[in-house]
């Protein structure tokens, strides 16, 4: 069978987008994600995102996201902005869109050409929400994670999906560490029964962070929207970043802006771009 797709990305966090508004979620999408995400051998991506019919009255669509290993994530910050851009460029043409996700409904506002702001809902640092075990109830502002042969001081934050945030002292963050050696030990750590996305951040100052991410199910990616939200939320809890002020997060693939409001709601702003469209054979 041949399927049509649109390749989109937010700061280089790239997914294969399938328009499933008429058909619903494809039965074999998890297998397709494994096959089509392989770089050099197929389309190449961090996973597949399906744009499905709305799940709640008044919503414009539902986002379902699958990592490169076929596992399903509940939320994707870069993905939800790209879904909004897809809907906008495929007939919706509304500056405000409502998108259902497995982590609840999100409101997307168009800021300009290829730029969207996502209302991500509230962050939570409670252990039950990640989930995390053996670390107390939370808030997980400081917890010790044993990984890669050492103890790490980490923060735990849920953005609808689980994140572990580690401050890194070296400003050469993008070149100074072997993430592929460290990341899997966090991802599969016994503290996180459903796995975890891990962000390593360097605090340049109170409103500028630098970040690299190891994503559950996809490995290192160029950017992670929920990861950037989790990192700023963790730094707010640690008293490093302010509330109600945009914080710029610099990632390998570009910059995202995050505002953590006084009521714990998180706003994520950044680009959503189409790279190319195509057709590909699937089993």
Question: Omega of the bond prior to 21 within 30 degrees of 0, cis?
Answer: no
Question: Which CB sits closer to ligand LBFN2T5F, 120 or 147?
Answer: 120
3-state secondary structure of 220: strand
Convert residues 208-227 into a mask of x (bound to ligand LBFN2T5F by CB under 6 A) and - (unbound).
-------xxxx--x--xxx-
Give how far Cα 14 sits from Cα of 9, 11, 52, 185, 188, Å. 4, 8, 18, 24, 23
Q: Judge whether 77 is annotated as a binding position.
A: yes
Residue 117 binds ligand LBFN2T5F (CB under 6 A): no
In the structure encoding, which two tokens stand for residue 161, read together? 């999906």
189 annotated to a ligand binding site: no
Among 37, 62, 117, 161, binds ligand LBFN2T5F (CB under 6 A): 161
**Quick one: 58 or 70, whose CB is closer to ligand LBFN2T5F?**
70
Q: In whole angstroms, what is the distance from residue 164 CA to residue 230 CA?
A: 8
Q: Is 270 exposed, middle or buried (0-12, 13-18, 19+ CB in 10 A)?
A: buried
Interface with ligand LBFN2T5F (CB under 6 A), residue total 17
CA separation for the pair 193, 196 (Å, rounded): 8
Residue 224 is a catalytic residue? yes
C-beta of 139 vs 227, nearer to ligand LBFN2T5F:
227
Per CB under 6 A, does 33 bind ligand LBFN2T5F?
no
> In whole angstroms, how far apart are CA 39 and each of 7, 44, 50, 220?
13, 4, 19, 13
Find out whether 199 is annotated in a ligand binding site.
no
Say whether 257 counts as a known binding-site residue: no
- Told to judge if 50 belongs to the known catalytic residues of this protein, a careful annotator would answer no
Strands 254-260 and 265-271: antiparallel
The reply on whether position 259 binds ligand LBFN2T5F by CB under 6 A is: no
**Catalytic residue chosen out of the listed positions 20, 50, 52, 76:** 76
CB of 130: closest distance to ligand LBFN2T5F in angstroms?
11
Which residues are registered as beta bridge partners of 4?
279
Give 2 or 190: the residue with its C-beta nearer to ligand LBFN2T5F: 190
**Residues within window 124-153 making contact with ligand LBFN2T5F, judged by CB under 6 A:** none
Cα–Cα distance for residue pair 161/123, rounded to 1 Å: 10
What is the SS3 assignment for 264?
coil
d(CA 107, CA 130): 22
Feature table: binding site for substrate: 13, 67, 77-78, 161, 197, 215-216, 225-226
Contacting residues toward ligand LBFN2T5F, per CB under 6 A: 13, 67, 73, 76-79, 161, 197, 215-218, 221, 224-226
* Residues noted as catalytic: 76, 224
């Amino acid at each position: 069978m041949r399927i049509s797709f649109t390749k989109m990305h937010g700061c280089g966090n790239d997914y294969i987008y399938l328009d499933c508004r008429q058909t619903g979620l494809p039965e074999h999408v998890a297998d397709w994600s494994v096959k089509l995400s392989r770089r050099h051998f197929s389309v190449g991506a961090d996973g597949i995102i399906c744009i499905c019919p709305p799940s709640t009255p008044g919503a414009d669509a539902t986002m379902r996201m699958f990592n490169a290993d076929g596992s399903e994530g509940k939320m994707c910050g870069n993905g939800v902005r790209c879904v909004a851009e897809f809907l906008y460029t495929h007939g919706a043409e509304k500056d405000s869109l409502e998108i259902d996700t497995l982590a609840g409904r999100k409101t997307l506002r168009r800021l300009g050409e290829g730029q969207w702001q996502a209302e991500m809902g509230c962050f939570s640092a409670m252990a039950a929400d990640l989930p995390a075990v053996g670390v107390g109830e939370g808030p997980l502002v400081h917890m010790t994670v044993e990984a890669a042969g050492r103890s790490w001081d980490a923060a735990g934050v849920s953005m609808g999906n689980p994140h572990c945030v580690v401050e890194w002292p070296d400003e050469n963050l993008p070149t100074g560490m072997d993430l592929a050696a460290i990341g899997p030990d966090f991802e599969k750590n016994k503290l996180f029964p459903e796995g975890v996305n891990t962000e390593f951040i360097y605090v340049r100052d109170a409103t500028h962070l630098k970040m690299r991410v190891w994503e559950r199910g996809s490995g290192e990616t160029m950017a992670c929207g929920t990861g950037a939200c989790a990192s700023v939320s963790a730094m707010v809890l640690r008293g490093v970043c302010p509330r109600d002020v945009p914080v710029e997060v610099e990632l390998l693939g570009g910059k995202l802006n995050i505002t953590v409001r006084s009521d714990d709601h998180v706003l994520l702003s950044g680009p959503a771009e189409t790279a190319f469209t195509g057709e590909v054979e699937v089993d």
